[in-house]
Structure 1
Amino acid sequence: MLPAYVTCVHALARTSAAVLSSLLLAVPATAAPAPTLWDHVGYDAEDSWFNPGERTLTAARVGRLSTKWSVKLRTADTCSDFGLPVVSGGRIFVGDRAGISARSIATGAQQWAFSWDEFGDGTRPRLAVSDGLLIAGYHDCGSVSDPNSRLIALDVATGKKRWAVRTPIMGDLVVDKGVALLSETDGVYGETLTVAYRVRDGRELWRAPNRHTGGSSANGVVAAFTTDGEGIRTGQTAALDIISGAVRWTAKHHLAAGAASPAGDVFYGSDGSDRLAAVGAGDGKVRWTAPPAEDAENYRIAADGARVYRSSNRTVAALDARTGKQLWSRKLKASAGQPLVAGGLVYAEAVVLDAVKGTVVAEGSAFTGDLIVTGGVVYRVHEGTLSAQVPRVS
């Protein structure tokens, strides 16, 4: 069972945007702050990159950040790299060049560290916290044709390894409903496979050949496009139950899902023609499509219920979540990277934008690198340094 406060925050993440806004406005100024939580790489299993509980870092404060603490992450002579962090239970977990480490969110002090040891040089791991376990998916980088993919579970309090399994693939990882799901199309042999494992013990639950899901789960449903056995997409999509692998629906259209809505009712992703598509998670029907972005092959998505944010190359744009109509577009000075939404703001590479208007609220080096925003803190991984940044007291 997840702690009650985690369940509460995740329930808020699936609340409609209109209801959520009214709830936040009704909170008195003296209310306790929302818990510090960001337990999936993209905030939630939907991979929405939207934190609905952030109320401290607003437009009035985000431009006045100071460093609360800063630490150098472990280095090693490996092919590993620094990974995207997740936060849960007062700890921040991050992949470093020697393995994975856990640190206090209050001070940055290291609480435990897991080294790659017998697993070889692990690649940048994708992390998620579930049922008191830190789930990490990665492979070593010694061989392209035989990457030795692995899924491991570490105790969040001690770092002790609870289980580890060799997996036939790695690729995308999503953790939801007590299940860790891996999906990949092999770049060498063209084989496509999705495999599900039980979080509590690593037992394989089901596998689906020729199905490729993205890194998002819409409240326990994953969208998988189909391939012909050689990695060629067939133009069909199936929705799979993450627990059983049962097919919920099939549709005669292609969807490479990049995110789902916080409410878990819509998938967003490429439709195979470089357009952004919104597809109902319950029925597979296309709700709308938007014209291709500047660099449609590499765009990244965030969604807050009211808007869908799409970044590509140096541009960030916001689209109406109901219609797909573009609301604003902003050209940046550098590559936009993954958009992140919290406190009515959109964080992109080196800049913070107003989520409604797209106007620049703040910019600078404090917003470069891999960021997460939770509990009134910007946690940042950049060039081997992990830091916590908070608003300055005036």
Structure 2
Amino acid sequence: MIRETLWERDLHQRGSASSFLVTEDRVVVHERHTRLVCLDREDGSVRWDAPIGTWPRDLVIANGRCLVLPQSPHRLSCLDLRTGAALWHVELPRLCGHVVASADTVLVGGWRGYTPLAAFDLRDGRPLWQTPSPARTALPVSWGGGVLMGHGPQAWLIDPRDGSELARWQLPEPLADTELRPVFTPVGPDHCLARLGPRSLMRLQPAGAVDELIRHDVDLVAEDAQFVGGVVWLRESRAGYLAADPATGSALWRVDVGQPLVSGVMRVDDGFVVAGEGALFRLRPDGQIMERSPHAHRISALRDLGAGEIILTTGGTLKALALESRRPGA
């Protein structure tokens, strides 16, 4: 399955899905405990290296800017994605978590209800508004012309520039408790998926309508659904993925490789690739396992680089790999 290792970088710390982002031509990764590094996507060469603080609670890229919220110091920093130059930073309360960016606004706060929600101008960090008291929300996401938020059996859409409410949804059960991980999956302008409780996936529509898409028969990992290759993917708590039709919610197949799967599904040729903790698995278009490629180090996250290439994190490295293309009928 693996054709070659394109490049590899030692992070000098544990790698995770929350510590790196992939853009069209670069990879941004947190490493060496206090550094944020931008790498060339093709060869892994360093474009810039900047001090930002300890492990990031959130890392977001928007409109040519990189926003990072470290555990310490307690501040949101905005860097130029092209050069790594610090553009602005704002001091924040301790235990502030969640960052989401729209076209011109950054919204911060709401994790566990510890801090108020606060909005800043993306260009210069100018404060725009703040809730008068601490607020609680799952990790927000830009969707439907606003920012979607939620807690318990409620979800709501706000205008990020002034905080006004645009829409609200009453849910049949509470949102899944995903901590700092996403709970919402925008699929298009007309609907967004939301993980509820231990086993449910709901579909939200802009006008306030909500309907149940999937109620699984086993518990799911407390994280958002993935929408890859026209298929909805839900990771099961015990091990494996459920793949479902995005229109009807009917099960297409289940993937069980006999070991826990990490978060991340990528499309390759006309099939898919998923990762266990110790191997990569190539799936046929119908989800059946067709190939297993053992990996020497424990895999913690998998992302798509495009053109049949992937990037993954292990216990202490970031590695880009090229996958062998499968000929029709092979």
- Pairwise TM-score range, normalised by the shorter structure: 0.7 to 0.9
Residue range with higher mean Cα deviation, 310-319 or 245-254: 245-254
The whole-number CA distance in structure 2 between the counterparts of 1:309 and 1:199 is: 32
The whole-number CA distance in structure 1 between the counterparts of 2:109 and 2:262 is: 23
Shift of 1:297: 5.6
The whole-number CA distance in structure 1 between the counterparts of 2:183 and 2:252 is: 20
Alignment of 1:33-72 (within 5 A): 63-72=1-10
TM-score norm. by structure 1 comes to 0.68
Shift of 1:260: 2.2
Shift of 1:255: 4.0
Between the two proteins, the alignment pairs up a number of residues equal to 306
The whole-number CA distance in structure 1 between the counterparts of 2:155 and 2:223 is: 20
The aligned counterpart of 2:179 is none
The aligned counterpart of 2:195 is 270
Shift of 1:196: 2.7
Shift of 1:192: 6.0
The whole-number CA distance in structure 2 between the counterparts of 1:221 and 1:291 is: 28
Residue range with higher mean Cα deviation, 353-362 or 99-108: 353-362
The aligned counterpart of 1:212 is 137
SS in 2 for 1:371: strand
Alignment of 1:75-114 (within 5 A): 83-88=18-23, 90-96=25-31, 97-114=33-50
Shift of 1:236: 2.7
| 1:173 is the counterpart of 2:99 | yes
1:345 to 247, 268, 272: 272
Question: More helix per residue: 1 or 2?
Answer: 1
The whole-number CA distance in structure 1 between the counterparts of 2:10 and 2:170 is: 49
Higher relative CO (Cα under 8 Å, sequence separation at least 6) belongs to 1
1:194 to 117, 126, 150: 117
SS in 1 for 2:202: strand
Shift of 1:299: 4.2
2:110 to 175, 184, 197: 184
| 1:282 is the counterpart of 2:206 | yes
Change (3 A) 1:250 1:91: closer
Shift of 1:316: 0.5
Shift of 1:164: 1.2
1:151-185 CA distances to partner (integer Å, 9 max, x unpaired)? 11112232221111122353333223232233433
| 1:244 is the counterpart of 2:176 | no
SS in 2 for 1:137: strand
Change (3 A) 1:236 1:379: closer
Change (3 A) 1:275 1:371: closer
1:254-310 CA distances to partner (integer Å, 9 max, x unpaired)? 445723233243222233x43423232402322224224633462442014832110
The whole-number CA distance in structure 1 between the counterparts of 2:104 and 2:187 is: 18
SS in 1 for 2:183: strand
Change (3 A) 1:244 1:328: farther
Matched-pair contact (CA < 8 Å) for 1:262–1:305: no
SS in 2 for 1:333: coil
The aligned counterpart of 1:150 is 75
The aligned counterpart of 1:362 is 291
Letter paired with 1:246:
S
Shift of 1:355: 7.3
Matched-pair contact (CA < 8 Å) for 1:279–1:288: yes
Change (3 A) 1:291 1:94: same
Matched-pair contact (CA < 8 Å) for 1:218–1:265: no
Shift of 1:346: 4.6
Residue range with higher mean Cα deviation, 332-341 or 316-325: 332-341
Letter paired with 1:380:
L
Question: More strand per residue: 1 or 2?
Answer: 2
Change (3 A) 1:303 1:153: same
Matched-pair contact (CA < 8 Å) for 2:264–2:303: no
Matched-pair contact (CA < 8 Å) for 1:262–1:304: no
Shift of 1:211: 4.3
| 1:131 is the counterpart of 2:63 | yes
The aligned counterpart of 1:40 is none
2:302 to 354, 368, 371: 371
